[in-house]
Amino acid sequence: MVIQKKWFKIMTILMVAFTLILGGCNKKSSKPADTMEPTSSTATATDNEAGAKVDFKGLSFSWYIHYDWATVDPWGSDQTSKWIQEQKGVTINPISSGGAAQQKLNTMIVSAELPEVITLDRAADLNKLAKAGQLVPLDEYIDKYPNLKKWAGEKTLDMLRLEDGKLYSFPNWYGGPDTFGNTGWMVNKKIYQDLGSPSLATFDDLEAYLMQVKEKYPDIIPFETGHEFAGGEVFYSGFSPGRNHTFSRDFQAYPENNELKSIFSDPTYLESLQFVSKLFRAKLITQDGFTQKKEQYEEKLKTGKVAVVANFDILGSAKTGHNALVEKDATSGYQVIEAPHKTGVDASLVKSASVATLGWNVSVITKSAKDPEAIFAYMDWATGAEGQQVLQYGPPGLLWDEVDDQGVPKPNAKFTATTKEELDKLKLGSLNWFANSDWITLSAQHRSLLLPKKPNEFDDTGAVAIMKKSSLPINEFQGITPAPDSEEGIIQVTVKDIYKEAFAKMVFADSNEEVATILEKANKDVTKAGFDKVLTYMTTKWQENLKKLAN
């Protein structure tokens, strides 16, 4: 999966959670936050469902987050890490990438000075470290410490195992049955209602509506794609069941009859791009989608300059725009809608979003670790209910004092008096690299039932319901792409470049015939590059994943 899309989802869940708690809650809890009050016997305990006792008090370890953009603050400099250090006895020594993550990791490998914990993608570097014997298998800890197994489930953990059958990865932002994707559609409520709230069930309906918008609101962008023209790729899922932008964007292939086939020869993909190009030529789609920055896109949302939006981060987009608009006009805002589709396609089979329970990335314990079991015990505590309470909402006594009967922290008076700027400075959630998305999502949903609703509040419940039923499970497609330095991986890099160039050219094409010509040439180019080898490789890996899931 593309990192950017995963990060969109993560930030959206955080936004959902904190939007829900900002309203405050006056109902008294019947259960105090006793699990949050450390004592000599519980200060280093897990949630202890399986009766496992751990002792990680006094634990200190080095930690490297393998991303160029990752910034690290000294441990104990913020309220959350200070509480963990003082109450749980854990000190983490962060190692910065210095903006050159790959170079930093390579240097540490060559010098044989690996940090004790590394957070990284489930990709080539993970496999290399495992094959070199530099990682500690986690299998012996899974049953002893209960939280990861309880929340992630055995199927998810089995999918994280590498070719040797061992589990090295502790997942971050993993999920279960309540996990959902975040790609979809939304409308500007005021414009939509002003035009009579017409049906947008089909692409024919959508085109007619966009033409109405263009005619009545000449200063409004009928359809907005977000930056990098992401929304243009979302149309694909509406033209046939079983299609999804993840297939085209990440794999340049789609599944059919137990094999992965080239997207460049898919009639459905051609039809979707011909429709997008048609809308673009009619100036019904934003003309700067390929060049605009994210900030420019968000400014359009906040000023109500768009009528319809499709994007990978639809919940984040909807909230960003809605909250800004209702401050000026209580009747305005945005709402998430069900994805439109081609006439004749069963709407229940249209899956505009994709979702995998394996999460975003993983943390691994290296052979450099002085006490790998204690590190795992800390990770397991962090991903359990108590750890998530602290990492997501801050330590007890700061912005909450008690939890409700579901273990959800209830905001105290200090929280309700805290401004958004002050809240941002606390960086709540920034240390949660063992995020349990089911717990976070469920806690946010539960809180929404406790808090009073405002007339102009964004419809979280309705939006989440739509996203859940429009999410395509893609666990079986995780980890199927070849290593970048392999023969197939080098070919795939070429194929991705051809795909990106062809996609842009098709959008700007002067006719549907030209769209077909561009795609046909791209198909010849990827075939010449050896794409068949990549398709065979990915199909084999996909089938192996299906066997894992079946077992």
Torsion of CA 444, 448, 450, 455, to 10 degrees: 150
Q: What is the pLDDT of residue 20?
A: 43
Q: What is the pLDDT of residue 442?
A: 81
Share of the chain above pLDDT 70, in %: 89
Residue 406: band (very low, low, confident or very high) from pLDDT cuts 50, 70, 90: confident
User: What strands, in cross-sheet order, belong to the sheet with 91-95?
Assistant: 91-95, 60-65, 117-120, 361-365, 170-172
* Higher-confidence position of 548 and 369: 369
pTM of the model: 0.80
* Higher-confidence position of 206 and 16: 206
Q: State the pairing for strand pair 306-311/221-224.
A: parallel
Q: What is the pLDDT of residue 204?
A: 99
Q: What is the pLDDT of residue 177?
A: 73
Dump pLDDT digits (tens) for 135-158. 999 999 999 998 999 999 998 999
Single-letter code of the amino acid located at 499: Y
Q: State the pairing for strand pair 31-32/400-403.
A: antiparallel
Q: What is the pLDDT of residue 38?
A: 32
CB of 369 closer than 8 Å to CB of 117: yes
Residue 24 has pLDDT above 90, yes or no: no
Q: Whole-angstrom Cα distance, residue 161 to residue 28?
A: 44
Q: Whole-angstrom Cα distance, residue 438 to residue 263?
A: 33
Q: Whole-angstrom Cα distance, residue 540 to residue 253?
A: 14
* Higher-confidence position of 527 and 421: 527
Residue 17 has pLDDT above 70, yes or no: no
Q: Whole-angstrom Cα distance, residue 25 to residue 17?
A: 14
Q: What is the pLDDT of residue 218?
A: 97
Q: What is the pLDDT of residue 284?
A: 99
User: 35-44, 312-321, 378-387, 452-461: which has the minimum mean pLDDT?
Assistant: 35-44
Residue 206's nearest CA partner among 226, 189, 186 is: 186
Kindly report each contact of residues 251-258 with a partner whose C-beta sits within 8 Å and lies 24 or more positions away, as own/partner: 251/477, 251/480, 251/481, 251/538, 252/492, 252/495, 252/496, 252/499, 252/526, 252/531, 253/534, 253/535, 253/538, 255/477, 255/542, 258/539, 258/543
User: 130-134, 318-322, 411-415, 531-535: which has the minimum mean pLDDT?
Assistant: 411-415
Dump pLDDT digits (tens) for 52-80. 456 899 999 999 999 998 988 899 999 99
As a whole number, mean pLDDT of residues 91-102 equals 95
Dump pLDDT digits (tens) for 165-182. 999 999 999 987 778 899
Q: How far is CA 367 from the centre of its chain?
A: 30
Residue 124: band (very low, low, confident or very high) from pLDDT cuts 50, 70, 90: confident
Six-digit token string for 301: 């949302």
Q: Whole-angstrom Cα distance, residue 184 to residue 434?
A: 27
Residue 455 has pLDDT above 90, yes or no: no
Residue 250 has pLDDT above 80, yes or no: yes
Six-digit token string for 545: 């994943």
As a whole number, mean pLDDT of residues 96-100 equals 94
Element (H, E) at 120: strand 117-120
Q: Whole-angstrom Cα distance, residue 171 to residue 218?
A: 48
Which whole-number Å values give the CA distances from 407 to 88, 362, 477, in the listed order? 19, 26, 34
User: What residue has token string 């509406």?
Assistant: 238
CB of 415 closer than 8 Å to CB of 24: yes
As a whole number, mean pLDDT of residues 430-442 equals 91
If 0-12 CB within 10 Å is exposed, 13-18 middle and 19+ buried, where does residue 90 land? buried
Residue 355: band (very low, low, confident or very high) from pLDDT cuts 50, 70, 90: very high
Q: What is the pLDDT of residue 42?
A: 32
Residue 481's nearest CA partner among 550, 551, 533 is: 533
**How many residues would you count in the chain?**
551
Residue 7 has pLDDT above 70, yes or no: no
Residue 3: band (very low, low, confident or very high) from pLDDT cuts 50, 70, 90: very low
Six-digit token string for 274: 């011909």
Residue 248's nearest CA partner among 342, 5, 261 is: 261
Q: What is the pLDDT of residue 447?
A: 66
Cα angle 185, 245, 186 (rounded to 5 degrees) comes to: 5
Q: Whole-angstrom Cα distance, residue 483 to residue 490?
A: 8
Q: Whole-angstrom Cα distance, residue 500 to residue 250?
A: 11
Average pLDDT, the chain: 89
Q: Whole-angstrom Cα distance, residue 190 to residue 197?
A: 9
User: 146-160, 266-280, 441-455, 469-483: which has the minimum mean pLDDT?
Assistant: 441-455
CB of 323 closer than 8 Å to CB of 463: no
Dump pLDDT digits (tens) for 485-514. 899 999 999 999 999 999 999 999 999 999
Sign of CA dihedral 65, 148, 439, 154: positive
User: 397-401, 480-484, 503-507: which has the minimum mean pLDDT?
Assistant: 480-484
CB of 320 closer than 8 Å to CB of 298: yes
First CA to last CA distance, the chain: 24
User: 280-294, 403-417, 525-539: which has the minimum mean pLDDT?
Assistant: 403-417
